[in-house]
């Protein structure tokens, strides 16, 4: 929509007013003049235009419009199947199944071809008729025949035929321009409809009178949430994060850990219950206040196409280089940055590309520099290399002070340092307590712990310290 639909609307807004003005002024002036020469021949000269205009509504019947909508939809399906196919190339290459991956694309192309044929078949006869009526030979023919009749009947001087032959041709131009403009208009209208649909999705409402939080204790009270109607991902969560403590969330893949922590920066509002910061429901907080209080390290890190220093200083744009370097050191990424061709001025994505673990360390540095009282960290399984792990521990340990920390942990080391552990399963809290308490209880957490130990043993035995963790139910 951003690409195709916006460009479909563009010519109509940017060019149409000028083109239409030019297309109408010249013929209207000619027409007025021709009327003063001979009104009967002027009317005859307009016959081809009238014919063409009469045919235009045939292009707008419901059947024709439906064909055009199908054509647009088929074009959209090609675009998305291309994107899917390209994104999946690596997977297809490794695991085979090229045939099957191609099939979706081929089906989309086949659909497109047949809907294109349907549309063209419906339109081509009418379009040819319109073009014929407006073509110069036809217009000349009509003017000559009409003129000949008038001249021979003695109602008109032969010389008066000349302006009609010269200017008559120009009268058809605006109709032809309208025909093209009409296609554009239809396409633009359909595109504008789709853009409006997106624009109509309501933004999360900001409070009219924001309330200031008192302190930075975070409470989740009976929080329920689902991405889709009828499927709850979080089913009644009650958790309190005390300032000065680290709370670790563990649980099987898909249990709702990332969803849970994304409620804190208010990416979604819970469908039931509330998330409170310093006693205030997030829905009553000013957005800027919220982001000045909560910083985030995501599971899949996105870096900006900007210098390393700017990436780290995102939340604190006027931070000095000293501060940036200190944060980078704490996040264990400083040495790596110095290896880059232009150090902290290296532009990411242009001069250098970071690995997943390096990118996550940059985003940890970003959070450390932001130094907000609440820190949420979604530890990425895939990038759990020893250096990133050290960076995570730094982030959690550094200014423990009275910072409120929530971390989604996949690694034993991270969990062991936590004050409280919350075990999530199927969107509900099944165990909570200190790591020692939970180990003694010999339940879910103890099983998680055992599986981590086994994995680490295995990793040590094979010399692979990056073996990904499989949390089994
Ligand atoms: N954007 C989304 N739209 C729809 N469903 C989603 C979305 N994100 C997650 N889900 C679903 O919500 C459930 C919980 O996902 P979530 O990402 O919170 O799990 P997780 O515990 O973080 O897993 P992991 O350990 O693999 O990161 C899953 O069933 C997932 O399919
Ligand atoms: Mg997750």
Q: What's residue 222's pLDDT?
A: 94
| Structural domain boundaries, residue 248 | 218-462
Provide the greatest CA pair distance for the chain. Answer: 117
Q: Which residues surround ligand 2, an ion (CB under 5 A)?
A: 258, 299
Residues 130 and 55 in one domain: yes
Confidence of residue 238 (pLDDT cuts 50, 70, 90): very high
Q: Is the dihedral of CA 346, 348, 352, 358 positive or negative?
A: positive
Selected residue with higher pLDDT from 294 and 349: 294
Number of domains into which the chain is organized:
2
Q: Tell me the H-state helices in 216-281.
A: 257-262
Residues 345 and 372 in one domain: yes
Residues 34 and 167 in one domain: yes
| 53-69: burial string, b at 16+ Cβ within 10 Å, e else | bebeeebeeeebeebbe
257 alpha carbon to ligand 1 midpoint, in Å? 8
Specify burial of residue 354 (Cβ count, 10 A radius: 0-12, 13-18, 19+): buried
347 alpha carbon to ligand 2 midpoint, in Å? 29
Residue 311 corresponds to which tokens in the numbers above? 């990436």
Residues 293 and 192 in one domain: no
Residue nearest to atom 26 of ligand 1 (CA): 253
* 276 has a pLDDT exceeding 50: yes
Residue nearest to atom 8 of ligand 1 (CA): 259
Bridge-based pairing of strands 428-433 and 420-425 is antiparallel
Single out the residue of 290, 186, 274, 189 nearest to residue 237, CA to CA.
274
Question: What tens digit of pLDDT does each residue of 38-48 get?
Answer: 999 999 999 99
Q: Which segment of 16-30, 198-212, 389-403, 435-449 scores lowest on mean pLDDT?
A: 389-403
Protein residues with CB under 6 Å of any ligand 1 atom:
227, 233, 251, 253-259, 299
Selected residue with higher pLDDT from 460 and 429: 429
Q: Which of the listed residues 229, 231, 258 should we mutate to test ligand 1's pocket, taking the one with most ligand atoms within 8 A of CB?
A: 258
Q: Which segment of 139-148, 198-207, 348-357, 453-462 scores lowest on mean pLDDT?
A: 453-462
Q: What's residue 319's pLDDT?
A: 86
Mean pLDDT of the chain, nearest integer: 84
Confidence of residue 371 (pLDDT cuts 50, 70, 90): confident
Q: Final residue of a domain: which of 199, 228, 248?
A: 199
Q: Final residue of a domain: which of 164, 199, 234?
A: 199
Decide if 49 is inside a domain: yes
164-188 average pLDDT score: 77
Residues 271 and 322 in one domain: yes
Residues 313 and 185 in one domain: no
Confidence of residue 302 (pLDDT cuts 50, 70, 90): confident
Q: Which segment of 1-10, 98-107, 210-219 scores lowest on mean pLDDT?
A: 98-107
267 alpha carbon to ligand 2 midpoint, in Å? 14
381 alpha carbon to ligand 1 midpoint, in Å? 14
Residue nearest to atom 3 of ligand 1 (CA): 227
3-state helix, strand, coil in the chain (%, to 5): 60, 15, 30
310-337 average pLDDT score: 90
User: What is the DSSP-derived secondary structure letter of residue 208?
Assistant: S
- For residue 21, give every residue at least 6 positions away whose Cβ sits within 8 Å of its Cβ, in sequence order, or none: none
* 141 has a pLDDT exceeding 90: yes
Decide if 468 is inside a domain: no
Residue nearest to atom 14 of ligand 1 (CA): 256
Q: What is the CATH number of the domain that holds 283?
A: 3.40.50.300
Q: What's residue 469's pLDDT?
A: 39
Q: Which of the listed residues 230, 232, 233 should we mutate to test ligand 1's pocket, taking the one with most ligand atoms within 8 A of CB?
A: 233
Q: Tell me the H-state helices in 1-97.
A: 4-14, 16-37, 39-45, 47-55, 62-87, 89-95
The share of the chain scoring above pLDDT 90, in percent, equals 29
* 205 has a pLDDT exceeding 80: yes
Residues 259 and 168 in one domain: no
* 464 has a pLDDT exceeding 60: no
Distance CA 274, CA 282 (A): 8
Residues 170 and 238 in one domain: no
260 alpha carbon to ligand 2 midpoint, in Å? 9
Q: What's residue 234's pLDDT?
A: 93
Confidence of residue 89 (pLDDT cuts 50, 70, 90): confident
User: How many CB atoms within 10 Å of residue 105?
Assistant: 16
Q: What is the CATH number of the domain that holds 104?
A: 1.20.1560.10
Distance CA 471, CA 473 (A): 7
Decide if 343 is inside a domain: yes
Contact yes or no for 80/3 (Cβ under 8 A): no
Decide if 210 is inside a domain: no
* 354 has a pLDDT exceeding 50: yes
Distance CA 238, CA 230 (A): 21
Residues 193 and 259 in one domain: no
């Amino acid at each position: 929509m951003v690409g195709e639909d916006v460009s479909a609307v563009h010519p109509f807004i940017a060019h149409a007013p000028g083109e239409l003005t030019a297309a109408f002024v010249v013929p209207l002036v000619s027409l007025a003049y021709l009327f003063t020469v001979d009104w009967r021949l002027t009317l005859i000269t307009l016959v081809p235009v009238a014919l063409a205009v009469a045919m235009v509504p045939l292009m707008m019947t419901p059947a024709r419009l439906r064909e055009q909508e199908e054509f647009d939809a088929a074009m959209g399906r090609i675009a998305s199947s291309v994107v899917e196919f390209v994104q999946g190339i690596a997977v297809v290459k490794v695991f085979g199944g090229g045939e099957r991956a191609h099939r979706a694309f081929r089906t989309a192309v086949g659909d497109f071809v047949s809907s294109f044929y349907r549309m063209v078949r419906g339109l081509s006869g009418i379009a040819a008729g319109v073009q014929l009526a407006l073509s110069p030979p036809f217009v000349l023919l009509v003017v000559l025949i009409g003129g000949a009749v008038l001249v021979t009947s003695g109602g008109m001087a032969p010389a008066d035929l000349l302006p009609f032959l010269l200017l008559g041709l120009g009268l058809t131009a605006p109709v032809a321009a309208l025909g093209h403009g009409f296609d554009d208009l239809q396409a633009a209208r359909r595109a504008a409809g789709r853009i409006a649909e997106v624009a109509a999705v309501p933004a999360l409402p900001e409070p009219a009178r924001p309330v200031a939080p008192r302190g930075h204790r975070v409470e989740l009270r009976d929080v329920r949430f689902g991405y889709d109607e009828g499927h709850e991902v979080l089913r009644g969560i009650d958790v309190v994060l005390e300032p000065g403590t680290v709370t670790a969330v563990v649980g099987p893949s898909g249990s709702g850990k990332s969803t849970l922590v994304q409620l804190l920066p208010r990416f979604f509002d819970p469908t039931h219950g509330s998330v409170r910061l310093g006693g205030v429901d997030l829905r009553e907080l000013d957005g800027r206040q919220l982001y000045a209080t909560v910083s985030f390290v995501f599971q899949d890190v996105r870096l900006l196409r900007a210098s390393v220093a700017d990436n780290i200083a995102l939340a604190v744009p006027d931070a000095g280089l000293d501060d940036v370097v200190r944060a980078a050191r704490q996040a264990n990424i400083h040495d790596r940055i110095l290896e880059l061709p232009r150090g902290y001025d290296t532009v990411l994505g242009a001069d250098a590309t970071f690995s997943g673990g390096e990118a996550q360390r940059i985003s940890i540095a970003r959070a450390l520099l932001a130094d907000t009282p609440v820190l949420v960290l979604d530890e990425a399984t895939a990038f759990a290399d020893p250096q990133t792990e050290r960076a995570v521990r730094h982030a959690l340990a550094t200014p423990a002070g009275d910072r409120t920390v929530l971390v989604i942990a996949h690694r034993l080391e991270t969990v062991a340092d936590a004050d409280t552990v919350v075990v999530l399963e199927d969107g509900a809290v099944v165990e909570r307590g200190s790591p020692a308490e939970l180990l003694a209880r010999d339940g879910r957490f103890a099983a998680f712990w055992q599986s981590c130990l086994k994995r680490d043993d295995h990793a040590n035995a094979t010399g692979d310290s990056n073996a990904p963790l499989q949390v089994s139910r």
